[in-house]
C-alpha cells in the first residue's frame, strides 16, 4: 500500500476517510495488516504529507491509533493526551490538520479502562495531574447513574467506561463550541467529527 498523495487525498470524502479507519480496525482485530513497505513510505512522504484523518486519543500504551486502525506513515495525524480532551493548542493543531493539511475526518477516540478517567472518578491529586484531571470532571458529573457515591469510583468499571464515553461526547461538544473553523467545515460537509471507543480487551473500535 502506497502513502497518500495530494491527488489521492483530494478524491476522499469524509465518509470514505471514516470507512478507511473502520476497515483498518477490522484488519487489526483479525491480526491482518495491509501490505505496505514503511521504508518506501518514508521516501514517498519525504517531500510532503497528505493524511486523511486526525485522531485524538489517550496516551495509553495500548491505544496507538496507527496500530488499531492499521495505518502507515503519512496516513493520519495522531494527537495524544491523557484523557483525550481538547485545549487551545490541540484545537489549533486540529485546525491545521483539517483546514491546511486536508484531513477529512476527526475522530475523538476514548477507550475502556482509561486510567485518566479512573483518576478523575477518584479525585486523584498529584502535581500537574490534579489540574489535568479537572478537565475530565465534567464527564464524571455528566454520568448520573449510579447515584450512590460508593459506586462512583474506579472500582466500578462500568461507571468508568460510561464516563469515558461521556468524555468523548463532551470533547466533541467543545470542538464544536470552541473552534468555529472546524464547525464551519463540518457544516459545509468538508469534514466529519465523530466519537469512538476502543475496547482494550477485544481490539474493537465502536464509532458513535
Task: Please check if 98 is assigned to a binding site.
Answer: no
DSSP string, 59-114: --TT--HHHHTT--TTSEEEEE-TT----HHHHHHHHIIIIIT---EEEEEEETT-
| pTM recorded for the entire structure | 0.94
Q: Does domain 6-119+164-207 have CATH number 3.40.1050.10?
A: yes
How many CB atoms neighbour CB 98 within 10 A? 24
Task: Please check if 176 is assigned to a binding site.
Answer: no
Sign of the alpha-carbon dihedral angle for 61, 99, 1, 208 = positive
pLDDT along the chain (208 residues), means of 10: 82 95 97 89 88 97 97 95 97 98 97 98 96 97 94 97 98 98 98 98 96
HSE on the CB side for 17, CA within 13 Å? 30
Instruction: State the pLDDT at residue 88.
Output: 97
Instruction: State the pLDDT at residue 4.
Output: 84
Task: Please check if 4 is assigned to a binding site.
Answer: no
Yes or no: say if 78 and 57 are a contact pair by the CB < 8 Å rule.
yes
Distances 98 to 18, 50, 106, 128 between C-alpha atoms, Å: 14, 11, 8, 30
Q: From the CA atom positions of the chain, what is the Rg in Å?
A: 18
Task: Please check if 148 is assigned to a binding site.
Answer: no
Q: Which residues, 6 or more positions from 65, have their beta carbon under 8 angstroms from its beta carbon?
A: 55, 57, 71, 76, 78, 80, 109
Yes or no: say if 178 and 121 are a contact pair by the CB < 8 Å rule.
no
Instruction: State the pLDDT at residue 59.
Output: 97
State the DSSP H helix or E strand holding residue 174, giving kind and residue range, or none if neither. Answer: helix 157-178
Instruction: State the pLDDT at residue 44.
Output: 84
User: How confident is the model over 99-149, as pLDDT tens digits?
Assistant: 999 999 999 999 999 999 999 999 999 999 999 999 999 999 999 999 999
Amino acid at each position: 500500500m502506497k502513502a497518500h498523495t495530494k491527488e489521492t487525498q483530494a478524491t476522499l470524502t469524509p465518509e470514505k476517510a471514516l470507512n478507511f479507519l473502520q476497515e483498518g480496525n477490522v484488519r487489526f482485530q483479525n491480526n491482518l495488516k495491509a501490505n505496505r513497505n514503511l521504508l518506501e513510505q518514508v521516501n514517498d512522504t519525504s517531500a510532503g504529507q497528505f493524511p486523511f484523518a486526525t485522531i485524538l486519543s489517550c496516551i495509553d500504551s495500548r491505544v496507538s491509533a496507527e496500530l488499531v486502525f492499521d495505518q502507515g506513515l503519512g496516513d493520519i495525524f495522531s494527537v495524544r493526551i491523557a484523557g483525550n480532551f481538547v485545549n487551545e493548542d490541540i484545537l489549533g493543531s486540529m485546525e491545521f490538520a483539517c483546514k491546511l493539511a486536508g484531513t477529512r475526518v476527526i475522530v475523538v477516540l476514548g477507550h475502556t479502562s482509561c486510567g485518566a478517567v479512573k483518576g478523575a472518578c477518584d479525585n486523584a491529586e498529584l502535581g500537574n495531574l490534579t489540574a489535568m484531571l479537572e478537565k475530565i470532571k465534567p464527564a464524571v458529573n455528566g454520568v448520573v447513574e449510579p447515584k450512590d457515591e460508593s459506586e462512583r469510583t474506579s472500582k466500578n468499571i462500568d461507571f468508568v467506561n460510561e464516563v469515558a464515553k461521556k468524555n468523548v461526547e463532551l470533547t466533541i461538544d467543545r470542538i464544536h463550541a470552541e473552534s468555529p473553523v472546524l464547525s464551519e467545515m463540518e457544516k459545509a460537509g468538508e469534514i466529519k467529527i465523530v466519537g469512538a471507543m476502543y475496547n482494550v480487551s477485544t481490539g474493537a473500535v465502536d464509532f458513535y
